[in-house]
Structure 1
Amino acid sequence: MKIMVIGGSMAGLCAGIALRCKGYDVAIYERSAATIESRGAGLVVQPDLMNYLIEHNLIARELFGVPATHGQVLDHTGRVALKYPLSGSFTSWNHLWKHLKAHFPADHYHFSHQLAHVAQDATQATATFTNGTEVSGDLLIGADGYQSAVRHYLLPAVEPSYAGYLVYRGLVPEPELTPAEVALFANGITFFPYEHARILAYLVPGDSGEVTPGRRLLNWAWAANTPALELAELLRDKDGRARPSSVPPSFLSANSLARITHLAEEHLPAVFQRIVAKTEQPFLQAVMELLVPKMYEGRVAILGDAAFVVPPQTGSGTSKAYQDAIALAESLHYHSTLEAALAHWNSDRQRQARKLFAQGKQIAWQSGLGVE
């Protein structure tokens, strides 16, 4: 079976790797020219994803990320008010993507391919790209994110919606932290919640994947309710360009940077104020939500954020994409027809994604996020 994957980020690579493990002929088509700009700073890696990657020799356990042994909640003075055990690992978007990319054949991964058109009939699906390339195969998979062009073909009326809050994010090199700050944030995830907002921080691998103490990065993410009208202004970057849903590092406007400083001084404990102040290039992302009524039609399917965008409080966005990919590969392998495989996969992943979405909404509401 020849399979085309549109989108070469996390979901696309997970799909490509899982499908190749089952013997399918897979090619990935990515719109970026040479590499993918980081789509985020830190990632919480769920144990099932970590175990899959290690078992398939995609990454060594000791290089996977920064292990976590506990979570903790600070009070307004910065003291630990609650501490509890947990098991997991923290990594960075760049670190994980580079490892996945290294394990997918370079001659089957095609940069500079922006999708222009999708077509299908009873025997094949066809993708046409803006560079003039046209490719056909047995199955076309849209793994092209929440603004998916493949989803627009399948479900033109379904669009992601703003959840009512945004997330400021940033990274601080470990050498810029004091010993007391390193001790506070080491080996776990640290939260500070307040009305309609929550900030968290944890250590992730350094720029080149370093996990040894002194060479890591502190990742922080700060979610806060923001009215849609105010969001529109914050999404205008330093050059005056209106961004659709995020402003990358080094592009925040002076207004946005001043707002971050003001909010930190007004709401955060001193330790988080210092962390935010030490961040050279913070960025922001509007939190979007998406539910689709179906994940396939004929020979075209969508997965990952192209199909469902779950609240970030679950820490499961990347794991959901991997589970979509693994489940699709398994279903194709064990069913005799494409229609039967996709129908079974769609039913299973719809149920799981909606459950995860509901869990995320509940966690967000408990913090007052997305609640007026």
Structure 2
Amino acid sequence: MRGGTVAVVGGSIAGCAFAAAAARAGADEVVVLERTRGRLADRGLGLCVHDERAAELTAAGTLPAGITAHRLERRRWVVRDPGAETGAGRGAGDGGRLVWEQPFPFHSYHWGLLWRGLRAATPESVVYRQGATVTGVTGGGDGAVLRLAGGAVERYDLAVGADGYRSVVREALCPGARPHYAGYVCWRGNLDAARQAAAGDADPFPEAVTTVCFPGGSCVIYRIPGPDGPRVNWVLYAAPPQDGRLRLDDPTSFPPGALTQELSTHLRALLEREFPAYWGRVLALTDPADTFVQPIYDLETTWNAGGRLLLAGDAATVVRPHNTSGAAKALQDAAAFAAAWRRADSWDGLLRDYREARGAAGRELVALARRLGRAQVERTPPWPAMTPAEVAAWWQTQLAGAPGIGGRAMTP
């Protein structure tokens, strides 16, 4: 199928990948409508992509080669060991007691650098409009209609919703579908890796993800590349403060730099109470401007395509981050979209093929992430008392037959 006009609502990772796929497939016009006016490349979050998924996505053309990444090889699960810390002194030696170690064949990325690579790989024919806020969408058999802030109305043959958690395209396709609060929050932060030495020693495990385990939560810590050198990225899952002052009706309630004094105090107390001393000191070095709190949500939709509307990435399924699959899932969606376009002889055929290829995949990711969240946050096991064999068995119980985290291979 060739020709037609495509609007991509949202211009981040999924949006760039879908715009490039549509342009290369032969669409006459591809327009990206991104509401943010600022520099998306400034977003400093870390993310990981499984080595096998990265190879598949590079071969499919949705993950450009050459984007800076940091190689990870293993995951270390540690618990606080007060006895060891008493005599260890200040240094990485008080980094906790290892309870289990597993292979972790992933590469980590800086969100902004990954987006920059995807944006640079987008064909020049794509029109990328920032500051364009879509307020409403309707779709039907003859096309999609977009209403923009300010009153403008634009018509396209297809509208792709790559607009994340609060997708207006999802609202048009699946009215009333809303992400559901999981009962806990995610603290995120990152810091210059050179500052890590101030916590006692240089990182003794730069190729490893360290998972700090404690009652009622867990935290993953790993290196990512940064615009000015390596950074330490961390993601901490735990219950929120119970004082009732934290709003939990918005997935981005407290963006970077917006932490209140009460939230900062709560985080500091959590680090001092539950973390191995070394890792508590490392995380405490994070600047407030690089720290934020995100309530954890999830959502699976009944439909991801229909009526000239199509959902991509987080707009289609909101998956708790435990899966380490968010970026890979968005890029796999784009690869499936490109493959469906090549096979289709009509818009209905394109939507049907995409729906069949990616609907079940999204629901599987949501289900796995819920199991991981229950086991690693909501109903944590007695990690300090468990043997490595018991932790390995506990992990397999969470997977429940899934081959691992990071997303499954795409169906050829």
After superposing on structure 2, the runs of 4+ consecutive aligned residues of structure 1 that deviate more than 6 Å are: none
The answer to whether 1:145 aligns with 2:145 is no
Partner of 2:270: 263
Paired position in structure 1 for 2:119:
101
Matched, 1:310 2:319: yes
Pairing 1:80-91 to 2, within 5 Å after superposition: 80-91=98-109
Task: Identify which of 153, 162, 168 aligns with 2:187.
Answer: 168
What TM-score, normalized by structure 1, do the two folds share?
0.88
Check conservation: 1:5, 1:141, Cα contact below 8 A: yes
Aligned residue for 1:98, secondary structure, equals helix
Task: Determine the C-alpha separation between the residues in 2 that align with 1:121 and 1:183.
Answer: 55
RMSD in angstroms over aligned alpha carbons? Answer: 2.4
Corresponding position of 1:186: 206
Whole-angstrom distance in 2 between the partners of 1:199 and 1:157: 33
Deviations 1:283-303 (A, max 9, x none): 111111111111122111212
Question: What residue number does 2:51 align with?
Answer: 47
- How far apart are 1:58 and its partner, in Å? 6.0
For residues 275 and 11 of structure 1, do their structure 2 counterparts lie closer, same or farther at Cα, with a shift above 3 Å needed?
same
TM-score (ref. length: structure 2): 0.80
1:4 corresponds in structure 2 to 7
Are 1:278 and 2:278 matched, yes or no? no
Report the alpha carbon displacement of residue 65 of structure 1 after superposing the two structures with TM.
0.8
CA contact (8 A) 1:118 1:126 kept: yes
The percent identity for this pair of structures is: 28
Instruction: Go from structure 1 to structure 2 and tell me whether the alpha carbon gap of 1:333 and 1:95 turns closer, same or farther (over 3 Å shift).
Output: same
With 88-97 and 127-136 compared, the bigger mean Cα shift is at 127-136
- Residue of structure 2 in register with 1:367 after alignment: 376
How many Å apart are 1:233 and its aligned residue? 1.8
CA distance in 2, matches of 1:26, 1:72: 44
Instruction: Please list, as runs of the form range in 1=range in 2, the aligned pairs for 1:1-372 lying within 5 A after superposition.
Output: 1-24=4-27, 25-36=29-40, 41-51=45-55, 54-55=58-59, 56=61, 59-61=64-66, 63-77=67-81, 78-105=96-123, 108-178=127-197, 181-206=201-226, 208=227, 215-226=229-240, 230=243, 233-235=245-247, 245-281=252-288, 282-369=291-378
Residue deviations 1:7-59, cap 9 Å, x none? 11111112112222322232111011243375661101123553356554964
Partner Cα distance (2:31, 2:286) in 1: 38
Deviation at 1:176, TM superposition (A): 0.7
- 2:395 counterpart residue number: none
1:222, 1:85 → 2: CA distance?
21
Distance in 2 (alpha carbons) for counterparts of 1:362 and 1:28: 35
Contact 2:173 2:303 in 1 (8 A): no
SS of the aligned residue for 1:33 comes to: coil
- Residue by residue over 1:247-299, the C-alpha shift from the partner in whole angstroms, topping out at 9 and shown as x without a partner, is 12211000000000011111111012101211112211111111111112211
> Using a 3 Å threshold, how does the CA distance of structure 1 residues 203 and 272 change in structure 2: closer, same or farther?
same
SS at match of 1:290: strand
User: What is the alpha-carbon distance in structure 2 between the residues aligned to residue 36 and residue 147 of structure 1?
Assistant: 18
State the number of aligned residues. Answer: 357
Q: Which runs of 5+ in 1 are unaligned?
A: 237-241
1:221-253 CA-partner distances (Å, limit 9, x unpaired) = 1001337x65x62349xxxxx965331221100
